[in-house]
A and B are shown apart, each in its own frame.
Chain A
Amino acid sequence: MKFTLMQSDLQKALHLVVSVVPTKSTLPILETVLLDAQPKGGLTLTATDLDISVRAQHGADVKEGGRVAVSARRFFDVVRELPEQEVALEGDESGLTLSCGSGRYRFVGATVEDFPSLPEIAAEREVGLDPRKLERLIRRTLYAVSTDETRPELTGVFLEVREQELRMVATNGHRLARAGLQGNFNSKREMLLPPKALNQLLRLMSDFEGEVDVSGTKNYARFVLGETQLYSRMLEGPFPDYDRVIPKSNPLQAIIRRNDLIASLRRILVLSDSQTRQVRMVLDDKQLRVLAEYQGAGEASEEIPVEYEGEKLTIGYNGGYLLEMLKTFDGERVEMRFQSEVSAGTFQPADEEPEESLLCLIMPLRLPEAG
Chain B
Amino acid sequence: MPETEAQKIQRLPHEVVGRIAAGEMITRPTAALKELLENALDAEATRIRIDVREALDRHLEIQDDGRGIPRAELALALERYATSKISREEDLLRVSTLGFRGEALASIAEISHLTLISRCRGSEDAWQLRASGGQTGALEAAARAPGTTVRVEELFFNTPVRKRFLKSPAAELRLARATVTAFAVAAPGIAWAFFQDGKPLFEWAAAPDLRARLIEIHGARLVEGLLPVEAREGGVAVRGFVGVPELARAGRYHQTLFVNGRAVASPYLAQALRQGFGDLIPGHQNPWAVLFVTVPPDRLDVNLHPTKQEVRFLDERMVFGCVQRAVHQAVAKLLPRLFLGTERSPATGSSAPAPPRQSSAGAPARPARWGAIDGREATAAFYGTAAGSGEGILGESPKRAAPEDAEAFQEAMGLQGPLTDTAGAGGGSPPDLVSLWQLHNRYVLAQTRKGLLIIDQHAAHERILYEQILARMQREPAGGQQLLFPVVQELTEPESRLFGEIKGSLLRMGFDVEEFGEESVVVRGVPPLWRARSEASLLRDLLAEAEETGLREGETLEGLARAFACRAAIKSGTPLSMEEMNRLVDELFRTAMPHGDPHGRPTFVFVSLLELNRRFGRGGSE
Contact = CB atoms under 8 A, between A and B. Distances in A.
A270 B392 contact: yes
Contacts of A368: 476-479
B480 A365 contact: yes
Contact of B484 (A174, A271, A275, A323): A174
B591 to A, nearest CB: 11
B485 A367 contact: no
Given A296-B376, A297-B384, A365-B480, A148 B534 contact: yes
A216 interface: no
A271 B389 contact: yes
A198 to B, nearest CB: 15
A245 B536 CA distance: 17
A173 B536 contact: yes
Interface residues of B, number: 44
Contacts of A367: 479
B456 interface: no
B484 A274 contact: no
B386 A270 contact: yes
B441 to A, nearest CB: 13
Given A269-B389, A270-B385, A275 B534 contact: no
A274 B388 contact: yes
Interface in A132-177: 147-151, 171, 173-176
Contacts of A296: 376, 379-380, 590
B380 A297 contact: yes
Contacts of B490: none
A276 B533 CA distance: 15
B525 A150 contact: no
A294 B389 CA distance: 9
Contacts of A265: 391
B477 A369 contact: yes
Interface in B462-520: 464, 468, 476-485, 510, 512
Contact of A148 (B478, B479, B528, B533): B533
B135 interface: no
Contact of B479 (A266, A269, A272, A366): A366
B532 A148 contact: yes
Contacts of B536: 148, 150-151, 173
A277 B384 contact: no
B479 A297 contact: no
B480 A274 contact: no
- The secondary structure that dominates the A interface is loop
B377 to A, nearest CB: 10
B484 A276 contact: no
Interface string A235-276: 000001000010000000000000000000110011111111
Nearest to B536: A151
B535 interface: yes
A265 B392 CA distance: 11
A245 B484 CA distance: 7
A19 to B, nearest CB: 17
Contact of A320 (B391, B587, B590): B391
Given A173-B535, A266-B396, A318-B528, A272 B389 contact: yes
Interface in B358-417: 376, 379-380, 384-392, 396
B531 interface: yes
Given A266-B396, A274-B586, A297-B379, A174 B483 contact: yes
A87 to B, nearest CB: 35
A322 to B, nearest CB: 11
Contact of B468 (A171, A174, A275): A275
Interface in A318-354: 318-320, 323, 327, 342-344
A41 interface: no
A298 interface: yes
A120 to B, nearest CB: 33
B484 A320 contact: no
A146 to B, nearest CB: 8
A43 interface: no
Contact of A274 (B380, B532, B587): B587
Contacts of A228: none
B267 interface: no
Contacts of B616: none
Contacts of B235: none
B130 to A, nearest CB: 73
B530 interface: yes
B482 A275 contact: no
A361 interface: yes
A366 B480 contact: yes
B484 A176 contact: yes
A150 B391 contact: no
A279 to B, nearest CB: 11
Contact of B396 (A270, A278, A371): A270
A195 to B, nearest CB: 14
A316 interface: yes
A271 B389 CA distance: 7
Given A148-B532, A274-B587, A363 B482 contact: yes
- Counting from the closest, the 8 A-B pairs by CB-CB distance are A274-B388, A150-B534, A276-B528, A363-B482, A269-B391, A365-B479, A366-B479, A270-B389
Given A171-B485, A175-B484, 5 more contacts: A245-B484, A270-B386, A294-B388, A316-B479, A370-B476
Interface of A: 147-151, 171, 173-176, 240, 245, 265-266, 269-278, 294, 296-298, 316, 318-320, 323, 327, 342-344, 361, 363-371
24 contacts: A150-B537, A151-B534, A174-B481, A175-B484, A245-B485, A269-B389, A274-B388, A274-B389, A274-B583, A275-B530, A275-B587, A276-B479, A277-B528, A294-B388, A296-B380, A298-B380, A327-B426, A344-B482, A363-B482, A365-B479, A365-B528, A366-B482, A367-B479, A371-B479
